[in-house]
């Protein structure tokens, strides 16, 4: 009998949680020789998500919820779920039912065939705006060029089934600035992509705006390649060579013809160009220094407030608190 844990990060999902459990359960109960359990991670929701989760955990034995001490972001919430999963494999799914549960049967099938990381691949990005689609294309194109050691999977999100050995590998990577999509790729093992159509959100609204997506893309680039730094070095060398050549040219013109050469416009152009490149280079270095800044603190990726009504405390390891007066069931 295989045991699979379904991990569901939830942030302000009060409207969908009640729909989620029966929708998924109706599909997974027909999969033979397999038991499923659910780990919902409440990522510091500001609505009544936690109450819905309490109700669900009360009602069903196969539901566990982990409530984080505040909103840590989806990447951290997924890690919390991964840390507390016990199954031979885990499936990560969004709470909003955009990930079709009917795909799970195929995922399990491929897993049994020996694949370790079976990921859902979006076949259309129809629900997304033209701009979002094209920005995504640009991101993948840049990542493909930049990351030399491996290729980032295209249109593949967090919806996937992971074998225990992928999970154990992910647990080794305690970096703070998590770009999970890249981490999945980094881990390697045998991958299989299953096409699926992204459904519209069942209810509620997305928390990803363009700014958040841009930040995620920056994180992806700075945590997986140092090629931008290298490019800046090349640019520096090219500009310096150009400057020397121009200097020689100006000198010769002045010596031979006494020609003062074009003054103000040339100066302005060169100054602005150099100023611009220097700022750009500094910005890029800054991004990497920022990464070092966050990683060097070695803070935990998330903090747990409670698990199934039990208040938790970190004392070297995470353990239940003895005094459990608040929030207890």
Closer CB to Mg ion, residue 125 or residue 190? 125
Residues that bind Mg ion (rule: CB under 5 A) add up to a total of 3
Q: Annotate each residue in 96-135 with x if it binds Mg ion (CB under 5 A) or - if it does not, as one string.
A: x-x-------------------------------------
Q: Annotate each residue in 77-96 with x if it binds Mg ion (CB under 5 A) or - if it does not, as one string.
A: -----------------x-x
**What's the closest the beta carbon of residue 211 comes to ligand UDP, in angstroms?**
13
Closer CB to Mg ion, residue 54 or residue 99? 99
Closer CB to ligand UDP, residue 220 or residue 228? 220
Q: Does the footprint of Mg ion cover residue 67 (CB under 5 A)?
A: no
Closer CB to Mg ion, residue 210 or residue 293? 210
Considering CB distances under 5 to 8 angstroms, the limit depending on partner class, which of Mg ion, ligand UDP, none binds residue 77?
Answer: ligand UDP
Closer CB to Mg ion, residue 74 or residue 311? 74
Closer CB to ligand UDP, residue 157 or residue 228? 157
Is 119 in contact with 153 (CB distance < 8 Å)? yes
HSE toward the beta carbon, residue 212, CA cutoff 13 A: 7
Q: Does the footprint of Mg ion cover residue 12 (CB under 5 A)?
A: no
Question: Which residues here bind ligand UDP, judged by CB under 6 A?
Answer: 9-11, 13, 43, 71, 73-74, 77, 94-96, 98, 206-208
The residues near 68 (Cβ < 8 Å, ≥ 6 apart) are 41, 42, 43, 44, 76, 77, 80, 302, 303, 304, 305
Considering CB distances under 5 to 8 angstroms, the limit depending on partner class, which of Mg ion, ligand UDP, none binds residue 10?
Answer: ligand UDP
**What's the closest the beta carbon of residue 71 comes to ligand UDP, in angstroms?**
5
Considering CB distances under 5 to 8 angstroms, the limit depending on partner class, which of ligand UDP, Mg ion, none binds residue 111?
Answer: none
Cα-trace Rg, the chain? 25
Point out which residues bind Mg ion (CB under 5 A).
94, 96, 98
């Amino acid at each position: 009998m295989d045991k699979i844990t379904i991990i569901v990060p939830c942030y302000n999902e009060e409207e969908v949680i009640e729909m989620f459990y029966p929708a998924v359960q109706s599909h997974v109960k027909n999969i033979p020789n397999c038991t499923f359990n659910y780990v919902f991670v409440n990522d510091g929701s500001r609505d009544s998500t936690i109450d819905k989760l309490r109700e669900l955990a009360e009602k069903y034995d196969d539901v566990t919820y982990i409530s984080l001490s505040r909103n840590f972001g989806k990447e951290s919430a997924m890690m919390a779920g991964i840390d507390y999963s016990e199954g031979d494999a885990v499936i990560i799914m969004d709470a909003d039912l955009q990930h079709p549960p009917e795909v799970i049967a195929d995922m399990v099938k491929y897993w049994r065939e020996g694949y370790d990381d079976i990921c859902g691949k979006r076949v259309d990005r129809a629900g997304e705006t033209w701009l979002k689609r094209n920005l995504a294309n640009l991101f993948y194109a840049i990542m493909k060029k930049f990351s030399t050691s491996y290729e980032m999977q295209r249109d593949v999100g967090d919806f996937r089934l992971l074998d225990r050995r992928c999970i154990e590998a992910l647990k080794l990577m305690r970096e703070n600035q998590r770009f999970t999509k890249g981490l999945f790729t980094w881990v390697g093992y045998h991958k299989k992509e299953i096409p699926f159509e992204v459904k519209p959100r069942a209810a509620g609204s997305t928390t990803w705006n363009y700014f958040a997506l841009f930040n995620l893309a920056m994180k992806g680039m700075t945590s997986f390649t140092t090629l931008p730094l290298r490019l800046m070095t090349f640019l520096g060398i090219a500009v310096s060579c150009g400057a020397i050549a121009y200097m020689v040219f100006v000198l010769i013109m002045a010596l031979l013809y006494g020609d003062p050469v074009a003054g103000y416009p040339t100066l302005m152009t060169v100054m602005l160009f150099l100023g611009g490149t220097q700022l750009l280079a500094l910005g890029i270095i800054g991004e990497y220094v920022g990464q070092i800044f966050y990683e060097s603190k070695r803070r935990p990726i998330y903090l747990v407030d409670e698990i199934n009504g039990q208040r938790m405390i970190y004392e070297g390891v995470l353990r239940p608190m003895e005094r459990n007066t608040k929030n207890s069931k």
